[in-house]
Amino acid sequence: MNEEELLAQLYDLTLVGNAPAVLELTNVGLEMGLSPEALLFNALIPSLEEVGARFERGDFFVPEMLIAGRAMAGAMDRLRPLLIETGVESIGTFVMGTVKGDVHDIGKNLCNIMLEGAGFQVVDLGVQVAPEKFVAAVEEHQPDIVGFSAFLTTTMPMFKANINALEKAGLRDKVMVMVGGAPVTQEYADAVGADGYAADASTAVNRAKELVKKHRLVGQA
């Protein structure tokens, strides 16, 4: 198997979510001398993007997204330290969490995988994250973006509570805020004063990249 064939196989195996085989092939690729970046950007990420595209077309459903995400996450666990060692620079830091009162995290976790694959350093605070915990994480990690996820109409109001907490702590102008989740819309995001919204994980990555640029431009101004 040459490098091209290995990358093609890695792409295919990620697409079908064969986590053990993806990890094994990642190791084989590294032993063959392929760089972590090559494995990531020429196989894993394109494959996960294809998963997202198939989901949007209705060819894939949530289970297929999740097993592909798990396969990718397993490979990322192997590649992450190597990417840091080789000095690949993070394109931004993203603090992420599901809001207080909400335990749903499937969408959030998919976003995390996509963001990390795209080069973000992701700090996942988990579920049921209280406003003060978001504030503390922003103080500690000084991220470019903090993301609030909610699955329920009853927990969406926590977006505003979190933003208010950031304002009260004097941090609102130091970090961009993204929101997302099944019931969330662009209108709602605008209404609570978020800087960004995305309807799915793929879109979230693109929006996050835009916001990082904006954030850094504002920081330089």
Partner 1 sequence: MARAGVVVIACGAIAAEVRAALRSSARAGDGVEVRTLPPLLHNHPELIAGEVARMAGQLQSEGRTVVVAYADCGTYGALDEICTSLGIERLAGLHCYDVFAGSKVVEAVFAEEPGTYVLTDFLVRSFERTVVQELGLDRYPELWPDYFGNYRRVVWLAQRRTADLELRADAIAEMLSLPLEVIDTGITGLADELERLSSRAGG
For partner 1, the binding residues (CB under 8 A) are: 17, 19, 61-64, 66-67, 70, 101-106, 109, 127-128, 153-154, 182-183, 185
Report how far residue 184's alpha carbon sits from residue 128's, in angstroms, rounded to the nearest whole number: 17
- Which are the contacts of 53, defined by CB distance < 8 A and separation ≥ 6? 202
**Closest separation in Å from C-beta 29 to partner 1:** 23
**Which is closer to partner 1, CB of 143 or CB of 181?**
181
**Closest separation in Å from C-beta 117 to partner 1:** 18
**Which is closer to partner 1, CB of 70 or CB of 174?**
70
Classify 129 as helix, strand or coil. Answer: strand
**Closest separation in Å from C-beta 156 to partner 1:** 10
* Residue located via tokens 């973000």: 120
Classify 61 as helix, strand or coil. Answer: coil
* Residue located via tokens 């996509």: 114
- Which are the contacts of 27, defined by CB distance < 8 A and separation ≥ 6? 78
95 with 185: CB under 8 angstroms?
no
Report how far residue 121's alpha carbon sits from residue 215's, in angstroms, rounded to the nearest whole number: 16
**Which is closer to partner 1, CB of 104 or CB of 160?**
104
**Which is closer to partner 1, CB of 63 or CB of 87?**
63
**Closest separation in Å from C-beta 73 to partner 1:** 11
**Closest separation in Å from C-beta 176 to partner 1:** 25
**Closest separation in Å from C-beta 152 to partner 1:** 8
Residue 171 CB-density burial (10 A; 0-12 exposed, 13-18 middle, 19+ buried): middle
C-beta atoms surrounding 74 within 10 Å: 17
**Which is closer to partner 1, CB of 66 or CB of 171?**
66
**Which is closer to partner 1, CB of 110 or CB of 176?**
110
